[in-house]
Chain A
Amino acid sequence: MDIFGAAFFALLTIGTIGAGVGVVLANRITTSALLMAFTFLNVAGMFVLLGAETVAMFQVLIYVGAITVLILYGVMFTPQSPRPYGLFFQTQKYWAALFVVPIAIFVAVVAFEFRDSAAAGGSGGDLVPLATSIFGDFAFPFEVASVLLLAAMVGAIVLVKRDEE
């Protein structure tokens, strides 16, 4: 079982990283949108690997089911004439490199140095503890989150509503 898990993890890592890079470098936006969906699936796979099925299900339900579709809506409403490869970078790409690279190095060092090799898999399913904590200790933040969602929804609708001439 152990090799199976490691192999599965390797597969998922390749999938996530590959798709992630694809999202950023894809020439056409629809491709990057779908690659993003694929990354989400891989991350969901990792969650399952970690034993957190509920979170994996939520991840798929929310990210793949709703957010990707929403972004696809966004993609379809905006022009995506495929640009020649080099042109779609922002003017500040060199500056970006200047800043992102050192941070990446720093964080990578910290991340990869993280020796804790104990198995990350959990014991039983995480449905019960998650449910108890959300509706127990974090009930109030949960309500606030729902208000936030409502506000965002109303805001988005108002922002985009075309005032009937």
Chain B
Amino acid sequence: MIQNVWVIPALPLAAFLINGLFGRRWLHRWTGIIASAAVGLSALLAIGVFFEVQGGGHESTTVTLYEWIGVGDFHVSVAALVDPLSSVMLLVVTVVSFLIFVYSNAYMEHDHGFYRFFTWLSLFVFAMLILVMADNYLLMFVGWEGVGLCSYLLIGFWFERPEPYVAAKKAFVMNRIGDWGYTIGMITTFLVFGSMQFTEVFEHVDIATEANLTLICLAFFLGATGKSAQLPLHSWLPDAMEGPTPVSALIHAATMVTAGVYLVARSMPLFEAAGPSLAVVGAVGAVTAIFAATIALVQFDIKRVMAYSTVSQLGYMFLALGVGAPVAAIFHLATHAFFKALLFLGSGSVIHGLGGEQDMRKMGGLRRKLPVTYWTMLLAGGALAALPPLAGFWSKDEIVAAAFLGGYPVLWAIGILTAVLTAFYVTRAMWLTFHGEPRDHHLYDHAHESPAVMTLPLIALAVGTAVLGIAIGFPPEAGFIHRFLGPVFEHEGAAEHAVEAATIITLAAVSVAAGVLGILVGLSMYVRHRPDPAAVSRAAGPFYRLLVNKYFVDELYDRRIVDALRAAFGAMWAFDIHIIDGLANRLGWLAAVGGSGLRRAQTGIVGNYALTIVAGLLVILVAYGGYAAGIFTR
């Protein structure tokens, strides 16, 4: 099965081509079915590959399709690296995509761009699969760009209204800044190692100097922050909520944003060798986590809350990578993909039910109206808040524990604090939407449960979030996933710190306590209004306004960077006009003047021409005379 692993991306590509070419005039509704079928099949194949890799002793095989570029000693081939890491990613991407495709068949039903939605979605899945399967940085970059493009297209899907395409542009530009970093990293790897293939690069890690390695890793990390919306380049993700909810679920929760994490995970050997870079990753991750969590506290748009929560969870993953626990990061990535997708789809079905209303202040008491959505979202909320039996607990707890054991107490503290905040805003969101009295009766009356096509994927994801945690990660540090992913990361003597069970349990207890504390505080504020939320926000005053305005990050960017660039571009424009154009015009003028000068010589009289010939003769004779008389040769 591994040998024809290329069929997995081929199917969504075929779906894209068919939908794209024939969608508008003939297929209409059929495009949804074709796309979902294609992704479903690749999901089955991915499962097959996953079991084959798991069964076959976890070693990595490279399947080369053809040699793409062969210039001098720069050889890049279109090849797939199938090893435990990439098979897990394949599995996650294809399964989640399949469920979201089925969901969006119903969600986008009344949208006139139905065929266009599914065309871009299948192209996105194709690009993501290429990114995941690539065995060298260049092919990965192709996928990287592909997903960037599709996210732009899908965010700006409803381009009639101005906000979506502005958000799309913003997302694309930010990603491009990140891609710039990635490119530098890619080029330096080639210059240093002479090749782009992961296997070759990781074998010769020792030949690179410390400085080169740090440059490569930081450049790649810049790319990762751009793509996974980490602190400096995070503001595009909340605005990306302008796109349809399935898009947010698929791209901005489960797959694309995890690309950054996958990149860092894949290049762990480089990061480990480049000492300080891991610390940087961890720090950025932690800061982003706490930063995003605080903003999420005050958001009223249900999708914005989820967006900030994604940013903070991604922060967690980078924190895990930073502290040297890549397995935990990938584990959290997998679980997060499931419950975050579920949360988004749930909020999508709420919005669908309320006819497009996203503001939580107008919701309330929907528990009775949308029971299935309520229960599935409750489960996902619990997972996000890391309540014990659910998936979120196992993966987040591992990260926090790894941070503590890895000797980073500060990061551990931040982790625990973020966990409290996360629990709080989850309960706040759940409460505002489902419990209490309905604040907008008109909306409340029209609210209706989503059709089966939407609720079934919700239920499937709910099962996933409940079961997944225990299934693959139960005995912490020794779960199925550790044994599976372990060999990919552990090679020469990673410190196998022997940890007694006692410390693990205490750590787990502490993180559970943090989660429960968050929920209790949330309930007391919203249920019994002991400190009434409105009063708290008034008391917080300036601090509250800061959070609401998202720390004024967008304004900062706009005023500082964009204006500065605008000034620089103005200068360049002036330079271009006066100097370069000036130069060209001057040359033109020179030719004209020269021409008119010479034109005078063309008198038209034959006599003058004869005279010039004779003059030439005179010059020659004089020269000859001079030469003969020895004037020239002293």
Chain A positions 36 through 64: 1 when the CB is less than 8 Å from some CB of chain B, otherwise 0: 00000000000000000000000000000
Question: Which residues from A are CB-within-8-Å of B614?
Answer: 96, 99-100, 103
A92 in the interface (beta carbon within 8 A): yes
Q: Complex Cα distance A90/B621, Å?
A: 25
Contact across chains for A99 and B618 when beta carbons are under 8 A apart: yes
Question: Which residues from B are CB-within-8-Å of A106?
Answer: 621, 625
Q: Which residue of A lies closest to B615 (CB)?
A: A99
A77 in the interface (beta carbon within 8 A): no
Question: Count the A residues whose beta carbon is within 8 Å of the partner chain — how many?
Answer: 11
B493 in the interface (beta carbon within 8 A): no
Question: Which residues from B are CB-within-8-Å of A95?
Answer: 611
A102 in the interface (beta carbon within 8 A): yes
Give B565 Cβ to nearest chain A Cβ, in Å.
65
Contact across chains for B625 and A92 when beta carbons are under 8 A apart: no
Question: Which residues from A are CB-within-8-Å of B608?
Answer: 92
Contact across chains for B617 and A92 when beta carbons are under 8 A apart: no
Chain B positions 608 through 628: 1 when the CB is less than 8 Å from some CB of chain A, otherwise 0: 100100110110010001000
B604 in the interface (beta carbon within 8 A): no
Contact across chains for B607 and A103 when beta carbons are under 8 A apart: no
Give A11 Cβ to nearest chain B Cβ, in Å.
31
Q: Which residue of B lies closest to A106 (CB)?
A: B621
Q: Which residue of A lies closest to B614 (CB)?
A: A99
Contact across chains for B611 and A99 when beta carbons are under 8 A apart: yes
Question: Which residues from A are CB-within-8-Å of B625?
Answer: 106
Question: Which residues from A are CB-within-8-Å of B605?
Answer: 90-92
Give B603 Cβ to nearest chain A Cβ, in Å.
9
- Partner of B618 from the list A90, A91, A103 (CB cut-off 8 Å) is A103
Q: Complex Cα distance A80/B467, Å?
A: 119
Contact across chains for A90 and B607 when beta carbons are under 8 A apart: yes
Question: Which residues from A are CB-within-8-Å of B611?
Answer: 92, 95-96, 99
Chain B positions 570 through 610: 1 when the CB is less than 8 Å from some CB of chain A, otherwise 0: 00000000000000000000000000000000000101100
Interchain Cβ contacts within 8 Å, total number: 25
- The size class of the interface chain B forms with chain A is 10 to 19
Give A95 Cβ to nearest chain B Cβ, in Å.
6
Question: Which residues from B are CB-within-8-Å of A102?
Answer: 618
Give B620 Cβ to nearest chain A Cβ, in Å.
10
Question: Which residues from A are CB-within-8-Å of B617?
Answer: 103
Give B371 Cβ to nearest chain A Cβ, in Å.
101
Chain A positions 91 through 130: 1 when the CB is less than 8 Å from some CB of chain B, otherwise 0: 1100110011011001100000000000000000000000
Question: Which residues from A are CB-within-8-Å of B615?
Answer: 99
Is the contact region of chain A dominated by helix, strand, or loop, or is it mixed?
Answer: helix
Q: Complex Cα distance A90/B608, Å?
A: 10
Question: Which residues from A are CB-within-8-Å of B618?
Answer: 99, 102-103
Question: Which residues from B are CB-within-8-Å of A103?
Answer: 614, 617-618, 621
Contact across chains for A92 and B607 when beta carbons are under 8 A apart: yes
Give A98 Cβ to nearest chain B Cβ, in Å.
9
Q: Which residue of B lies closest to A102 (CB)?
A: B618
Q: Which residue of B lies closest to A92 (CB)?
A: B607
Q: Which residue of A lies closest to B610 (CB)?
A: A96
Give A99 Cβ to nearest chain B Cβ, in Å.
5
Q: Complex Cα distance A106/B619, Å?
A: 12
Q: Complex Cα distance A91/B608, Å?
A: 10
Q: Complex Cα distance A90/B610, Å?
A: 12
Q: Which residue of A lies closest to B621 (CB)?
A: A106
Which residues of B in the span 518-563 have a Cβ within 8 Å of any Cβ on A?
none
Q: Complex Cα distance A106/B621, Å?
A: 8
Question: Which residues from B are CB-within-8-Å of A100?
Answer: 614
Q: Complex Cα distance A106/B625, Å?
A: 9
Give B625 Cβ to nearest chain A Cβ, in Å.
6
Which residues of A in the span 7-28 have a Cβ within 8 Å of any Cβ on B?
none
Give A97 Cβ to nearest chain B Cβ, in Å.
11
Q: Which residue of A lies closest to B603 (CB)?
A: A92
Q: Complex Cα distance A138/B618, Å?
A: 33
Give A56 Cβ to nearest chain B Cβ, in Å.
29
Chain B positions 216 through 245: 1 when the CB is less than 8 Å from some CB of chain A, otherwise 0: 000000000000000000000000000000
Q: Complex Cα distance A90/B614, Å?
A: 15
Question: Which residues from B are CB-within-8-Å of A96?
Answer: 607, 611, 614
Q: Complex Cα distance A103/B621, Å?
A: 8
Q: Complex Cα distance A75/B608, Å?
A: 23
Q: Complex Cα distance A96/B611, Å?
A: 6
Question: Which residues from B are CB-within-8-Å of A90?
Answer: 605, 607
Q: Complex Cα distance A100/B625, Å?
A: 16
Give B14 Cβ to nearest chain A Cβ, in Å.
69
Q: Which residue of A lies closest to B607 (CB)?
A: A90
Question: Which residues from B are CB-within-8-Å of A92?
Answer: 605, 607-608, 611
Q: Which residue of A lies closest to B620 (CB)?
A: A103
Q: Complex Cα distance A15/B621, Å?
A: 29
Q: Complex Cα distance A92/B625, Å?
A: 26
Give A51 Cβ to nearest chain B Cβ, in Å.
32
Question: Which residues from B are CB-within-8-Å of A99?
Answer: 611, 614-615, 618
Q: Which residue of A lies closest to B616 (CB)?
A: A99
Which residues of B in the span 319-367 have a Cβ within 8 Å of any Cβ on A?
none
Give B144 Cβ to nearest chain A Cβ, in Å.
69
Question: Which residues from A are CB-within-8-Å of B607?
Answer: 90-92, 96
Q: Which residue of B lies closest to A109 (CB)?
A: B625
Q: Complex Cα distance A96/B617, Å?
A: 13
Q: Complex Cα distance A107/B607, Å?
A: 22
Q: Complex Cα distance A135/B607, Å?
A: 39
Q: Complex Cα distance A17/B556, Å?
A: 99
Question: Which residues from B are CB-within-8-Å of A91?
Answer: 605, 607
Question: Which residues from A are CB-within-8-Å of B621?
Answer: 103, 106-107
Give A135 Cβ to nearest chain B Cβ, in Å.
35
Q: Complex Cα distance A96/B615, Å?
A: 9
Give A91 Cβ to nearest chain B Cβ, in Å.
8
Q: Complex Cα distance A91/B605, Å?
A: 10
Q: Complex Cα distance A103/B615, Å?
A: 9
Give B621 Cβ to nearest chain A Cβ, in Å.
5
Give B597 Cβ to nearest chain A Cβ, in Å.
20
Give A90 Cβ to nearest chain B Cβ, in Å.
5
Q: Complex Cα distance A95/B614, Å?
A: 11
Q: Complex Cα distance A107/B618, Å?
A: 10
Q: Complex Cα distance A35/B625, Å?
A: 35
Chain B positions 66 through 107: 1 when the CB is less than 8 Å from some CB of chain A, otherwise 0: 000000000000000000000000000000000000000000
Q: Complex Cα distance A99/B614, Å?
A: 7
Give A21 Cβ to nearest chain B Cβ, in Å.
19
Q: Complex Cα distance A92/B611, Å?
A: 9
Interchain residue pairs with CB less than 8 A apart (14): A90-B607, A91-B605, A91-B607, A92-B607, A99-B611, A99-B614, A99-B615, A103-B614, A103-B617, A103-B618, A103-B621, A106-B621, A106-B625, A107-B621
Further pairs besides A106-B621, A107-B621: 7, Cβ < 8 Å: A92-B607, A95-B611, A96-B614, A99-B618, A102-B618, A103-B621, A106-B625
Binding site for A on B (CB under 8 A): 605, 607-608, 611, 614-615, 617-618, 621, 625
Q: Top 3 nearest A-B pairs by Cβ distance?
A: A90-B607, A99-B614, A106-B621
